[in-house]
Structure 1
């Protein structure tokens, strides 16, 4: 008797005639398939838990999302959400938060993003702190067996597939689509992140890593799985654009923008590093919004053109200037005033674009 195939559900046995070592296909007489002993199938399933999602990487706007929300976008794609862009791209606003260490900072990624995701997809990510890594792995296996990949955040310094590895400590997210193995599990990682760093390029990828190698990255980390909350809300582009323009105009009228500008007049190396990060976030956010607008069709075409032609280029210019300026400051060289001028120009372009659209809308309402 020869075991010729094994699966968690069945064991296939083949009985052959003859003796010695002759086990050619012609010598087999019978093939039977039986259930394994109680517990064997279950233990094999425990060893391998998968909810594949690497094949959906091209559904994620990796070039524009940050390194945590891109993982949520991938989970949404795996959950069957067709429009993965709208939850992250529909909003255009300028809000700030007060940080104890760095002062006034732009609110990006926005604190309201989870509400946007739930509003337009019917899902929300339930985040949990990683306490015991062993317990977290068991919880991940349970989610994976239910068909749900999980998003995980940890310290990029300990993630060997990233250019930040052993160079910079920062929170970074990735997706776990599989766990295999028992005593020393291997983690199947999918990382949607895309960015150019000073140490090289981060690109979307799928890889495997032993828990022993990944473990240090998970200290103080978190993980999430998607939860359903009901039917998503249909998008109304005209309504969203008007609300966005009112928010941008309000930020200028209420002094939020002027306070941000005043807080970013200092041109020290540390201040420039903060401004460079904020500019990077703002530029990617505006670029993604412009892409979303270009898909919305009748009713917002003129506004989409203004965003692409007048707003986005100014943020891109500022991003380039801040990158160069921070390198100059770190080298002890002077920083040109063009950085603050370019920041003011980008914010002014947003105000003009928003107010022009609001004015056009008022005229349209009067003439109807």
Structure 2
């Protein structure tokens, strides 16, 4: 697009908000889900719900354990399943970024942006906490001769309760001048069709997907990765509890989302029933619910320690029970079905 051209484009991603499982995804994955919906992908939940993993990020053994969620190769897996690849770019400066965004918006491609939540006025984190937050820019209005005055349409599908109030799915507008501080050190990406990525078959069976998940989980079970995850918790440290509050929150959302996939494919997974209970019911009891309780307990511990109080002993116990329960459940599935 010519730099002097007027810009008036709105791609209306808000029409897809109801389809995005924002309450079960992190703030970047739900934006990616929204982009998939805009690009016509029929099932925008399965790319995020089908995988069951427990991998830890590699790093210093003295640092806190960090679970890789979403899965490390999510973008490549989505590309293989949909033919759409998310390509990332550094937001080196706001004006340069918006000139690139203008070209993508004019071509019908909304832009996924990750910036500092501290500077995003529609969030309860605004002015309170620095953290990465994703959102979608799906429109721009004004002149590229005066880019700072451009008005940008923003759609944000994120759904979460915070200590300062709720994040709820919404559409809003912001000028580039007001958005610019959030872009310092940020990044942005767009979904584009990629012809040279081999596509998986359209609909692999639920049994094949589950087998792949179990094979991926086996090293974590055999190598005591679940136990290692718990061992780096420092119960005296508010920062450590903050870290585990986030990690268990990610795990609880991931497992709740996978439970929805299991439920949707339950008829195909009847061979995995045990003692008359379906696999989704077993997964809920042994995996999803324990992580939900662990997330609640770790959040309470993070708030108590931040206030100078001691963490309740039940918080660590809840974390360890959830990790052990998932490991034992996965191991039982290995022994019975692989």
**TM-score under structure 2 length normalisation:** 0.89
In the alignment, structure 1 residue 352 sits paired with structure 2 residue 335: no
Preserved CA contact (<8 Å) 1:314 1:345: yes
* CA apart distance, 1:99: 4.4
Residue 252 (str. 1) matches residue 221 (str. 2): yes
SS across alignment from 1:103 = coil
* Counterpart check, 1:149 vs 2:114: no
- Report SS of the residue matched to 2:191: strand
| Number of the residue aligned with 1:229 | 194
Bigger strand share: 1
Q: For 1:291, what is the secondary structure of its paired residue?
A: helix
Give the distance between the partners of 1:138 and 1:44, measured in 2 at CA: 11
Higher mean displacement: 293-302 or 160-169: 293-302
Q: Is the 8 A contact 1:94 1:248 kept in 2?
A: yes
Considering Cα pairs closer than 8 Å and 6+ residues apart, tell me whether 1 or 2 has the greater RCO.
2
Aligned to 2:275: none
Q: Does 1:261 align with 2:261?
A: no
Choose the corresponding residue for 2:301, options 316, 325, 336.
Answer: 325
Does residue 339 in structure 1 map to residue 299 in structure 2? no
Gaps of 5+ in 2: 271-277
Runs of 4+ in 1 over 6 A off after TM superposition: 42-45
Q: Which residue of 2 aligns with 1:188?
A: 153
Q: State the match for 1:310 in structure 2.
A: 286
Q: Do 2:64 and 2:240's aligned partners in 1 also have CA atoms closer than 8 Å?
A: no
Q: Deviations over 1:145-174 (max 9, x none)?
A: 111111111111110000000000111111
The 8 Å contact of residues 64 and 233 in structure 2, kept in 1 or not, is answered as no
Please name the residue that 1:93 is paired with.
Answer: 53
Aligned with 2:66: secondary structure? strand
Write the distance in 2 (CA, Å) between the matches of 1:64 and 1:236.
23
Deviations 1:11-59 (A, max 9, x none): xxxxxxxxxxxxxxxxxxxxxxxxxxxxxxx999732123221101112
CA RMSD of aligned residues (A): 1.9
**Cα deviation 1:200-244 (Å, max 9, x = unaligned):** 000010001111211111111111111212445423211111222
TM-score, normalization: structure 1?
0.82
Are the counterparts in 2 of residues 287 and 312 from structure 1 also a CA contact under 8 Å?
yes
Specify which of 39, 42, 61 is matched with residue 79 of structure 1. 39
Name the structure 2 match of 1:9. none
CA 327–132 in structure 1, closer or farther in 2 if over 3 Å, else same: closer
Deviations 1:228-285 (A, max 9, x none): 1244542321111122223333212112222222212544211111110101000000
